[in-house]
Structure 1
Amino acid sequence: MDIDTRLLRYFLAVAETESLPLAAQRLHVAQPALATQIKQLEQQLGVELFIRSRAGWTLTAAGKVLTERVPGLLGAWDHILRDTKSDASRAARVLRLGCVHSAADGHIPEIIRVFHRLHPDWQVDIHQGGWTDPTAGLDEGDVDVALLRLPFPGQDGYYVRELFTEPRWIALPDNHPLAEREDIAFRELWDEPYVASPAETGWWRDYWMGLDARPADTAIIGAIARNTDEWLRAIANGYGVSFTPASTAATNAHPGVVFRPVHGIGQTRVALVWPDASEADPIVRYFIRCCTDIMGQQAGDGRRTS
């Protein structure tokens, strides 16, 4: 019998939280989709893994046995996958860099130039993470190191070096009543509809609606966007507003959209992130040093944090 490891990860999240909503939030997937996947796993195994009730999801005897064995199995598979992909890239002299949009776009060309001074025979392969992939390939073992925005799901499982912080601004339709203001209070934005990423991105979506700093029940979603173009068009058409890094104002100018500073909400943080497999690699360590030297000294409106 072949079992998809994704189903086992879903099972483990529900087992650990004993809650479908909490597990869905951790996995950044929709609750109905998660429930369907758990049912599929039960059908494949031929056993019931959970007792469902209004109080939550409780493990059955079979579920408890599986809970004891799954973490070791998944951990071993993750190491095999990462080591295989990493060794292949080393053999080809390729360093795999993951990036989320605008995290450090302006710095990357200089970082690569400095890196090539010592390692001219190495290629830097850039993997651009989409809206539904806040780790830019890190979780899948597709990159050796990544430039990401904190927080992101699962960051406790990685080495993290914060580089600088950046204000969260608000993107507005240019005919919005607040668009004429040079500075906006966070509290003034609570009742606005937001253009958000898909529900499966979980608390990553919540963070960019400011829900880390206000009650969750104040969120109003006016539209869903799956990429930057959809996001900008939805705002320009008046479907909602959205928080975004201050640097977006320079990199994503769009007709009908304005960007304004907001006070009363925390800043977003940019960090270098890498897995255990990269920790002892001298090539990756030198690349990390290049990033730290360049961005730590040239953080612009942000500040160096480590």
Structure 2
Amino acid sequence: MDVHLRELRYFVAVAEELHFSRAAERLFVSQPALSKQVRALERQLGLALFDRRARTVALTPAGAELLPRARDLLAGWDAAVRAARGAGAAVSLTVGLQTAVGRDLQRSVLQSFRERGWRITLRLSGWDDPTAGLATGATDVAFLWLPVASGDLAVRVLARERRWVATAAAHPMAARPEVDFADLRDEPFVALPGTAGPLRDFWLAVPQRAGREPVVGVEAVAADEALEAVAAGLGVVLLAEGNARLYPRPDVAYRPVRGLPPAELALAWRADDHRPEVAEFVAAFPAADPATGG
């Protein structure tokens, strides 16, 4: 019988939270998908792992017996992955990215660590994984846009930037030097997927809509995909000022938006990861001035 590590991670999250919705938020998956995977695990094992009641979830005796062993298996696998990554190099780190970072933030730092013999691997993640691999252990540190739902992460804000809007080049608002967010509220938006959690709401500017639901024209899981949708006239999308410069296109216009708080780009790592190489890597990036970007 082969059980996937993902199913064990799902089981452990539900067992620790004793609540399917909270576990789904922690894992950045939908609650129905999580329930389906746990049911599949129970069918494979031929055991009921949870006692599901109207408003509570409890471990069965079989679930309680499996929990510590599942934790050990996952911890052992994560340790094996870290050891494999470090083989042949003094230090090995995998860095997650959600979009191109640019802004002269990481190039010189990465180069200096590589010159010291560190093996730095870059791993690009879609917006459907707002932790860029940190939640699953696929990455050691990651450049992320805030907010991120997981309380298991520590972050250092590296940049605060005004939010801009991307429209099709022929869109009427492309003729304006600046756009009020109030004029964008009824526009169809290109949205991040639901698994992006609070990050989806941030880039839809939900808190600034005074209770009005955003109009979602289409969803996208990556910057290039979002901009293709914008160029095709399927919606507009908010983005950070620095990303407007990183993704120039003749068929897309970028304009600053009034009436929104700034976006925050951060370097994140697991709060319980106390390895000195992680601390050294994080310390190499200066934190943004709290007064910037307001």
Q: TM-score range by the shorter chain?
A: 0.7 to 0.9
From the superposition, tell whether residues 264 and 36 of structure 1 become closer, same or farther in structure 2 (CA, over 3 Å). Answer: same
Q: Which residue of 1 aligns with 2:279?
A: 285
The correspondence for 1:66, drawn from 63, 71, 87, is 63
1:37 match: 37
Residue 7 in structure 1 maps to residue 7 in structure 2: yes
Q: C-alpha separation between the residues in 2 aligned to 1:291 and 1:157?
A: 21
What secondary structure, in the 3-state scheme, does the structure 1 residue paired with 2:172 have? Answer: coil
How far off is 1:195 after superposition? 1.0
Structure 1 distance, partners of 2:42, 2:215, is: 36
Partner Cα separation in structure 2 for residue 9 and residue 88 of structure 1? 21
Secondary structure of the structure 1 residue equivalent to 2:285: helix
Distance 1:204 1:296, change over 3 A: closer
- Per-residue CA deviations over 1:201-224 (Å, capped at 9, x if unaligned) read 333322221224446651221012
Q: Tell me the SS of whatever aligns to 1:6.
A: helix
Alignment of 1:30-109 (within 5 A): 30-44=30-44, 45-47=46-48, 49=50, 51=52, 57-59=55-57, 62=60, 66=63, 70=67, 72=68, 75-93=71-89, 94-104=92-102, 106-109=104-107
SS of alignment partner, residue 226 of structure 1: coil
2:209 and 2:292 map into 1 onto residues whose CA distance is: 25
Match of 1:122 in 2: 118
Identical pairs, percent:
32
State the TM-score, normalized to the length of structure 1.
0.78
Match of 1:250 among 241, 245, 252: 245
Question: Normalised by the size of structure 2, how large is the TM-score?
Answer: 0.80
Letter in 1 for 2:140: D
Is residue 111 of structure 2 the alignment partner of residue 113 of structure 1?
yes
Unaligned runs of 5+ in 1: none
- Equivalence for 2:213: 218
Deviation, structure 1 residue 3: 4.3
Whether contact under 8 Å (2:20, 2:31) holds in the other structure is: no
> 1:147: which partner in 2?
143
| More moved, 168-177 vs 239-248 | 168-177
Match of residue 137 from structure 1: 133
Q: Note the C-alpha offset of 1:267.
A: 1.7
SS at match of 1:247: helix
- 1:10 to 1:134, Cα distance in 2 relative to 1, 3 A: same
State the Cα RMSD in Å. Answer: 3.4
In the alignment, which residue of structure 2 is the partner of 1:192?
Answer: 187
Cα deviations by residue, 1:106-160 (Å, 9 ceiling, x for unpaired): 322211233345x1x2232212222222222222223222222222232x21232
Q: Structure 2: where are the runs of 5+ without partners?
A: none
**Residue 3 and residue 290 in structure 1: after superposition, are their counterparts in 2 closer, same or farther (change >3 A)?**
same
The answer to whether the 8 A contact 1:5-1:74 is kept is no
- Secondary structure (helix, strand or coil) at the match of 2:96 reads strand
What one-letter code is carried by the residue in structure 2 that aligns with 1:109? R
Is the Cα contact below 8 Å between 1:168 and 1:267 reproduced in 2?
A: yes
Q: Distance in 2 between matches of 1:5 and 1:246?
A: 39
Which sits farther off after the overlay, 78-87 or 5-14? 5-14
State yes or no: 1:204 paired with 2:204. no
